[in-house]
Amino acid sequence: MFASGLYQVLFHLAEGRRLRVGRLGELDLDGGYYVYTGSARRGLEARVERHRRRDTRRKRWHVDHLAAACRFVAAFAYPGSFGECALAAAGGGLVIPRFGASDCRCPGHLSYFRERPDLPLPGGVLIGENDG
């Protein structure tokens, strides 16, 4: 369906915990919902499927650490030409500094919400939901 583009993944963390995330180090995460915004030049659906799996063997990206600790809730694709950083900022929430943004200068690509956020944002399309 979508070979490339921007996407958001909604995760749920049942209770707060400390999480080691690569070079970011230790992060104290509160229980609630987390929205990760990413992009894929190719293989968008495979990328989202990787984030869905909790047993990611090699943790390549910051989000792999988060995905291992959280429950995948849903994923959304955003066809169009706006940027990853703009999409991450558009959703609001409390930004987790530098998470997923090691290759750019924006505040971060992960946002925290105590309650489930209203997704998708305008222009987004649901591409996957938790089966259980």
Burial code of 26-63, b = ≥16 C-beta within 10 A, e = fewer?
A: ebebeebbbbbbbbbeeebbebbeebbeeebeeeebbb
29-76: pLDDT as tens digits? 999 999 999 988 888 888 888 878 766 567 777 888 899 899 999 999
* CA proximity to 53, closest of 75, 38, 31: 75
pTM of this structure: 0.92
User: What residues does each domain of the chain span?
Assistant: 5-129
82-120: pLDDT as tens digits? 789 999 999 899 999 999 888 888 999 999 999 999 999
